[in-house]
A and B are shown apart, each in its own frame.
Chain A
């Protein structure tokens, strides 16, 4: 379990993390989302005791990680930037990390097999592709079978098969009872992996919720209905707390009624319907909606065109 209490981190002028509090529970995968520069990596480095909080504190499995007697049994981290000496082989890299806490060489070899680096374990890590580097990072995080795992964008650079592997592995870890905290920019990826979400933007906590709750929070869902008589249907459905938005010449987007209610009403009034369907706000849309104001680096859309 990870408990983050009123955590802030300032780098000079820049407040990278601003009074953030949340809890990451064991037994489920918790996603950590936010646009570029939101403060995800900074928060994760503070969890791992690498950066010192300006204020606030992080408790990992009930204690201050830096005071831990067996750190590798408590927390495994995969950091954003490759944290590997380029001149050393993958196996020697893992052995060096393992020995500090008394993890055996056998366990190192097991983990190498587990992440699929068997064939390149003797090669210099400097020559690794992005995806192989991520696998090596995951291997180092799992060496001590830690109760809590923190992974910063683990899917970054993985091929589709690798992404699938990563997803299954994270779910497995959670199912075994580990605490799993994973950052990503991609809502769609998190939707398939995570049960809960912590969302930050510009260093501030935006949401701490379930995946389903997140969609509801960011806009819920609407119904699209297509008919030959949109004007009559509009008049029929209109009411308090109901929003009707015309879409093209023959469709309405209805917010506030279920497909069941709309179908029943239209049937009773004899209005023919061609289509009646729930429209789920996609996670990506919900995410963008929610973090819009907190996006640090907007693409400049309105580039002036010289005329």
Chain B
């Protein structure tokens, strides 16, 4: 009797293997750190956010010193020196979005997910590296911006110092705010997978909508929800009132901003896990 069997060649010697291979979250984190530091675009956007943070803080401090009226209403010595936060959030947003969409547009994501087929560890590692780098860099930048701003403002006795607890909260707050903004942008990037769409959406949420709400929508309506917009909620950590009718308390506001980031990231994680790469 003949049976049709596939002519399977059975190997004689055992295969040479790499030892100790296994995916762990820490290893994926190390991989994402290599990716982060090996791209010129990430270094550029990080550098740009530092320049914006320090440069604009100094510029607005100098303007306040030189204008007859001093600081704009609603601004304080602290918030004036940290004005750069509002501009740096654009740079860290681009950084966060590109960190993810850059992999989709180049096709790199398939290589990344083929070696980590469980997928989610890649997203967690990216967000952790992003948040850590943005926080550490922007904390230094925010401290420099604060000290430089106060030095400039002191020439007219407008300055304050880090002995003020609100100043400490604001300097840390700027770094925390920018980290949460970058993570939100990365979440949007993972959800939309397209650079232009992600940056547009981020800019709409962090600039356009808050500006429209502050300028076009009647204040009586805006009073009900403007404080919950992520940018308005998060900037409460930095001293100043920002024209909100009903601002949240600083830490409640930051919690609201983090909740928004978490919701975006959760949606992104769902998409990453459930759809084709």
Contact = CB atoms under 8 A, between A and B. Distances in A.
A100 B31 contact: yes
Contact of A72 (B9, B14, B21, B276): B21
The CB with the most chain A CB atoms within 10 A, among B32, B41, B107, B274, is that of B107
Interface in B241-277: 274-277
A68 interface: yes
Contact of B27 (A65, A83, A87, A102): A102
Given A51-B277, A66-B117, A176 B16 contact: yes
A176 B13 contact: yes
Contact of A176 (B15, B21, B112): B15
Q: Chain A interface mostly helix, strand, loop or mixed?
A: loop
B158 to A, nearest CB: 44
The CB with the most chain A CB atoms within 10 A, among B31, B38, B102, B114, is that of B114
Interface in A204-238: 210
A167 interface: no
Given A27-B10, A65-B117, A84 B111 contact: yes
Contacts of B72: none
B68 interface: no
Contact of A140 (B8, B32, B111): B111
Contacts of B276: 45, 50-52
Q: Chain B interface mostly helix, strand, loop or mixed?
A: loop
A84 B7 CA distance: 37
Interface in B91-111: 102-103, 106-111
B113 interface: yes
Contacts of A28: 8-9
Contacts, number: 161
The CB with the most chain B CB atoms within 10 A, among A81, A98, A99, A147, is that of A99
A173 to B, nearest CB: 10
B224 interface: no
Interface residues of A, number: 55
A277 to B, nearest CB: 29
Given A50-B277, A71-B23, A101-B22, A145 B31 contact: no
Given A88-B39, A178-B15, A82 B107 contact: yes
B208 interface: no
Interface in A64-109: 65-66, 68-73, 75, 77, 79, 81-89, 92-93, 95-104, 107
Interface of B: 6-18, 20-24, 27-28, 30-32, 34-35, 38-41, 102-103, 106-118, 122, 274-277
Interface of A: 23, 25-28, 45, 48-52, 65-66, 68-73, 75, 77, 79, 81-89, 92-93, 95-104, 107, 140, 144-145, 147, 174, 176-178, 195-196, 210
